[in-house]
Amino acid sequence: MEKLRIEGGKKLSGRIRISGAKNTVLPILAASLLAESPVSIHRVPQLQDVSTMMKLLATMGVGVVIESANGIAVDATTISEPFAPYELVKTMRASILVLGPLLARTGEAKVSLPGGCAIGARPVNLHVDGMRALGAEVKVEEGYIYAKAKQLIGAHILLDSITVTGTQNLMMAATLAKGKTTLENAAREPEVVDLANFLNAMGAKVSGAGSSIIEIEGVPSLHGVDEYKVIADRIESGTYLIAAAITGGEIELLDTDPKLLEAVLLKLEEAGAKIITGDSSIYLSMEGRRAQAVSFTTAPHPAFPTDMQAQFMAFNSIADGVAIVSETIFENRFMHVPELIRMGADLQIDGHTVIVKGVDKLTGAKVMATDLRASAGLVLAALAAEGETIIDRIYHIDRGYETIEEKLMQLGADIERQP
Q: What is the pLDDT of residues 301-354, one digit of tens each?
A: 999 999 999 999 999 999 999 999 999 998 778 999 999 999 999 999 999 999
Task: Measure the CA–CA gap between 207 and 214, rounded to whole angstroms.
Answer: 6
Within 10 angstroms of residue 124's Cβ, the number of other Cβ atoms is 20
Q: Which of 75-79, 93-97, 98-102 has the lowest mean pLDDT?
A: 93-97
| Catalytic one of 58, 66, 117, 254 | 117
Residue type at 45?
A: P
Instruction: Over range 77-103, report the average pLDDT.
Output: 93
117 is catalytic: yes
Confidence of residue 1 (pLDDT cuts 50, 70, 90): confident
Instruction: Over range 44-49, report the average pLDDT.
Output: 94
| pLDDT at 239 > cutoff 80 | yes
pLDDT of residue 229: 97
pTM across the whole model: 0.95
Confidence of residue 360 (pLDDT cuts 50, 70, 90): very high
| pLDDT at 116 > cutoff 90 | no
Q: What is the pLDDT of residues 255-269, one digit of tens each?
A: 999 999 999 999 999
Beta bridge partners of 63: 75
Q: What residues contact residue 328 under an 8 Å CB cut-off, 6+ apart?
A: 297, 298, 299, 306, 352
| pLDDT at 120 > cutoff 60 | no
Confidence of residue 115 (pLDDT cuts 50, 70, 90): low
Looking at residue 149, what DSSP letter applies?
Answer: -
Q: Which of 5-14, 111-120, 313-322 has the lowest mean pLDDT?
A: 111-120
Confidence of residue 80 (pLDDT cuts 50, 70, 90): very high
Task: Measure the CA–CA gap between 19 and 178, rounded to whole angstroms.
Answer: 37
Instruction: Over range 354-375, report the average pLDDT.
Output: 96
